[in-house]
Structure 1
């Protein structure tokens, strides 16, 4: 058995980090493998029913499929019951091998006992996950596109337009988080259901198998204690599933009801989230989405280029820098909203300009980074007043020089 699939938490739906996406891909891959393995088992059962003359060969093939069948459980460790359940298919395969020569009345009612339930499990439960993924991917695209349009609005837009944009992106964000949490919930449920309902189907088939074999009856007698124990473990697992499913759904509803104003809070001196790096190029300004983290204690700031719509796998390591200063960007100095500047120790003199996803998000970044307000030359003086002062200073200097020259021409020694 492997180390198991990584657990999925509803809180990860709010951050939607690259690592969360990577974990989702692992679950999706494992479910696809399970679906293909179930299809293989269904085919094997049908072969047993339709190829009576080759029944012995089909039994051996089915036995081999059972012994090689694997499925992962969530978490790094397994309980004793989970280990018994996960190994049960292999035990079934060994039993089939021991009675391979007994063909009489084999699999007379196998279709109703095995094929239909397995097809139902694959099409309904795994199919529900695939439908959830389509909804999740659709909401991801809608949210990211809505966010892109929202962040491209300039501060010069009318307040009514900006307020409408705020409401629109908030709605898209809520739909995205709901779809994400629902998708995680579906994955959790099918992984748990697989541990009892799928094996239960094959357990029922095994009971029927032994019933139809006279010679297999003695084998079944020896094997029955294990099957009884497995049946009990499956019943316990089913009961636990129903209780845990209620808790999971309650947790889902609680998370969905929570305010999305600050979905990602600064926790224990650490913050993470998406930022857009703004860079001036020869052909204009580029805006690249990054997953960023900051540790207040070490002042380490990391950024990893990542976009949920285009990036499937993490292909590079995050860039790690030590922060030296953080300053809020003045609104009239840049067209983009929610911007702030960073300077790092490793690249003195170079300024990184980032765009947060909202004003609340920018305040959160500035707060944990001890961000400062931009420096104004003289508070309350406009640009035009600053220019006027500079002109007056130059006129005054020229006037003083002219007076000194006149006094020197008159022969005065002290011009002080």
Structure 2
């Protein structure tokens, strides 16, 4: 019984391991994973109790009875042997005494003496034998009952432990049963919906039913895009047709700056292109098949065919974007190796000493977690968060980051603090905000409303509901009535006579006056002249003013109150917050607005966009940033001047170089199909050098040449 019980416990342990493995395979289903883990832990405890029961059985029955058999019964058997021996001797003495002849007197006396001694010894041994039998019978009774009583107490303890264990599990099992009932109802409803869809699917037109078209360069698994493509043979015949179609249709993916494919799901990927930075991609219209494109490297080319024109365009765009990302990441790695300490991210602002210290010699995780409140998740409080929302400026745990991803990039853009590369201006943005700042804005009414903030141990559904209410519905943001009312078209609240006075008395720097752009000094006078005593401004105007003042917390508050990131101030030449950030001279403010969806190509009433204003003011770091974000460098203002002509007139050699290189790179892309051609790497290196200088030594970029009057 004991041996079989131990085998039973061993089999139970294997079963528990199987349940835990099943729970790990169900990690994406929180309900299944948690339930299986809880059940496996409970059953494991029961197996442990079983093991204890069999150990107690070993001690209470087997060990005690074996002692009884080996010691007490052995003594009884020895006494029995002695009794039998003496009995035999007595019989012999009787026989001998009976055989002695009457006339042999000395033999008679000897036989009589032996018989008497033997009888005396026999009685003594017989009494000892009877004593051993009585002792054995008494001890047998006590030993057996004692062993069985101990065994029954062991069973009693075992069942009490099981009862207590399942009493604690009972409420959870009851709740799970209720959830299963709801799941059954939901499953029945889903089944009806699917049956209805099946009944109507025959009516659908599948001529344009393409698979996944989007790509994501910031995907958590590192796969930018994946899907099936037809691949032309790379042999000398360049054939498409094979005996089996699946010989040429492969599962392609773009990952780790490489183009790879797999024949089967479990096969190791075959690398088609080892480094996308050395490649080009182009449409192929001169072959017999449709929807074809070619990826060309210095050593080979690969002809591929998509299932539709939309898919072909998506793949080409994904390859082009991956090439551009590969260049940027290579530049970031070189920058980290070259710099001994991390510089300030603002191209024209020194920043406080404490924030500068945060940006030196530490990893992105260490720098960001030094900010107040960032050492724990912004939404659930879990310690040591490793993810961040770059447009909100907060740190997140891995579970909350997944929920933020599901909100969409227009609400939250998630990036890893340990796996992704970080641009200087993005790190400075994170250090300007932080969990404490954002929670004071987005959780202002949590206590007042009596809402319980989820903890790290809360269910995912509870966290998701809270995060959606916090960032999407903004239920906890403190609403306030603006003391200055604005027209719906976004006009300024400043009275007309003060507007005229402000423009008539404004001062211009030599460079700004030459091209008609507002200088930072003039912007300060404009800000001082605005007539509004209350701090409670309309969200759009609050964002507009805070962008000039480089005040990221105020900007975040304005966006939380519903400010339009591209709000237009009609009374001030249709200027936007992004243009005000340029006039304020802050690179990190521009980055914050762009991360929150600001239009880099919006132009004011004079036809000038952010790139125009940055060029006029000589803000090289901002010029780099806008070019990276896709600013239109060919746009002209009302005087017919594009940024390059303005930079040439201003004699700013750095910006002229940047714009010319950007223009050359754009022309090369248009002619070849993507960046990555000879000379393009040189452009990337120079562009990266300017970006690093804008962060490290912004004063070196203020190199306007003297005007003719100054020279004379």
Q: TM-score higher than 0.5 here?
A: no
Bucket of the pairwise TM-score, normalised by the shorter protein: 0.3 to 0.5
Find the structure with the greater CA-based Rg. 2
**Which structure exhibits the higher relative contact order, with contacts defined as CA atoms closer than 8 Å and separated by 6 or more residues?**
1
TM-score in terms of structure 2 length: 0.24
